[in-house]
Amino acid sequence: MDINTICVHGSAHKTDYTGSVTVPIYQTATFAHLGVGQSTGYDYSRLQNPTREQLENVVAALEHGTDAIAFSTGMAAISAVMELFEAGDHIVISDDLYGGSHRLFHHISEKNGLTFTAVNTTDLLLIEKNIQPQSKAIFIETPSNPMMQITDIAEVAKIAKAHRLLLIVDNTFLSPYFQNPIDLGADIVMHSGTKYLGGHNDTLAGFAVTASNELSEKLRFIFKTVGACLSPFDSYLLIRGIKTLSIRMERQQENALKLAGWLAQHPKIKAVYYAGLPTHHGYEISKRQARGFGSMISFETDSEQTAHQVLERVKLILFAESLGGVETLITYPMLQTHADIPASEREAKGINERLLRLSVGLEASDDIIADLEQALR
């Protein structure tokens, strides 16, 4: 079935027989049993809920996975995946990661005995060089946050399989509409459902999508034990958001391509990081492994003063954290998403006082450009 149809109609498995066009919100904590040893298939909403199950089936279908598990947030999903590992295990990670992932790995997971080596995962030799006897996984973001680095998923998958490591890919920036890491060899795909899957900046959610039943069973056990499940109402909001995923992703990408081209020509902009520009180092890899470039742009202004000026003068664009919604948002990574990363590490990656990150929305592209133009004047 075409991805556009899956987005609109969702899972073929239905739990409602009234003819309701929308998936009902089963706002219940528990389910009654028909008798001793008899069950409807649902016992307690922490374990499973019909509304959440519908959402999970849709996301699994979109990502071509065996299962998708819906968590209360993206960070809850990544935290659960880290529970697959034991004290002493080592993981190679992208050196350009969402700040929340960095915070989890280095302040929580390391405390629990895991070790991490951060490398530029666009360099395959660096990945190979940093694999240790105790390595158990490779964790990558592509495109990465906020420098938009593009890692070759298929090539990293070959390395992971050769060393019997799990490959975990955060696919938040492109969504399953533009990229399917499992098809390229990934074992687990992560999403902050808050972003493009939800698409309206109105709810939090996270997903772990598995490529095998074995991984699904392990994560389901962690899920029910830890209990960071997505609520029925939030599951409903995600189902509703996914119905327009395809048209949102196409329009936002169309806007982003125009904005990236405009920014690249502006005298006060010194660098533009967007995989859809032919000058981007990962442009050819992106074309090979994805069906689109997405709508996330980072750019460097000529000075800290200019960066502050943009943040303070934008009117249509909102100065706010998060991304992937219908509204265009601008973020200051060094003070917001990546504030917990040590300054020396941050600046070495290019996350400095001049860097801004733009999540391009659905407004008319000319209006977004006009707002940036007046803010930069």
103 is an active site residue? no
Mean pLDDT to the nearest integer, 239-248: 98
CATH of the domain at 273: 3.90.1150.10
Q: Are residues 264 and 285 in the same domain?
A: yes
CB count in 10 Å sphere of residue 60? 22
Q: Are residues 61 and 181 in the same domain?
A: yes
Q: What is the Cα–Cα distance from 370 to 134, expressed in whole angstroms?
A: 53
Q: Are residues 73 and 146 in the same domain?
A: yes
Q: Are residues 105 and 152 in the same domain?
A: yes
240 is an active site residue? no
Chosen domain end from 197, 213, 242: 242
Can you say how many angstroms the Cα of residue 235 is from the centroid of all Cα atoms in its chain? 17
**Catalytic member of 67, 89, 95, 170:** 170
pLDDT tens column, 345-363: 888 888 999 999 999 999 9
Q: Are residues 223 and 251 in the same domain?
A: no
287 is an active site residue? no
**Catalytic member of 52, 195, 251, 357:** 195
SS3 content of the chain, % helix, strand, coil (to 5): 40, 15, 45
Label residue 12 by pLDDT band (50, 70, 90): low
Give the SS3 label for residue 208: strand
Q: Are residues 170 and 260 in the same domain?
A: no
Picking from 155, 145, 91, the residue whose alpha carbon sits closest to that of residue 118 is 91
Q: Are residues 253 and 307 in the same domain?
A: yes
Chosen domain end from 242, 259, 293: 242
pLDDT tens column, 286-311: 999 999 999 999 999 999 999 999 99
Domain count, the chain: 2
CB-CB contact of 127 with 92 (8 Å): yes
Q: What is the Cα–Cα distance from 165 to 94, expressed in whole angstroms?
A: 15
Q: What is the Cα–Cα distance from 144 to 259, expressed in whole angstroms?
A: 19
Q: Are residues 40 and 128 in the same domain?
A: yes
274 is an active site residue? no
Q: Are residues 80 and 130 in the same domain?
A: yes
Picking from 306, 198, 194, 307, the residue whose alpha carbon sits closest to that of residue 248 is 198
**Catalytic member of 42, 89, 96, 98:** 98
Beta strand residue intervals within the chain, DSSP E: 67-71, 90-94, 115-119, 135-141, 166-170, 188-192, 206-210, 269-273, 296-301, 318-319, 329-331, 355-359
The pTM (predicted TM-score) of the whole model is: 0.96
Residue 82 has pLDDT above 90, yes or no: yes
- Annotate 83-111 with DSSP letters as a single string: TTS-TT-EEEEESS--HHHHHHIIIIITT
Widest pairwise Cα distance in the chain: 74
Q: Are residues 166 and 213 in the same domain?
A: yes
pLDDT tens column, 164-223: 999 999 999 999 999 999 999 999 999 999 999 999 999 999 999 999 999 999 999 999
Q: Are residues 189 and 290 in the same domain?
A: no
Paired tokens of 9: 């109609």
CB-CB contact of 349 with 298 (8 Å): no
Ramachandran region, residue 232 (left: φ > 0; alpha: ψ -120 to 50; beta: rest): alpha
Paired tokens of 16: 């409602």
Range of the domain at 24: 3-242
Paired tokens of 219: 């994560």
Chosen domain end from 210, 242, 274: 242
Backbone phi and psi for residue 15, each to the nearest 5 degrees, phi listed first:
-115, -5
**What pairs with residue 167 in β-bridges?**
138
CATH of the domain at 44: 3.40.640.10
Give the pLDDT score at 364: 98
Beta strand residue intervals within 302-343, DSSP E: 318-319, 329-331
Mean pLDDT to the nearest integer, 266-270: 98
Q: Are residues 58 and 164 in the same domain?
A: yes
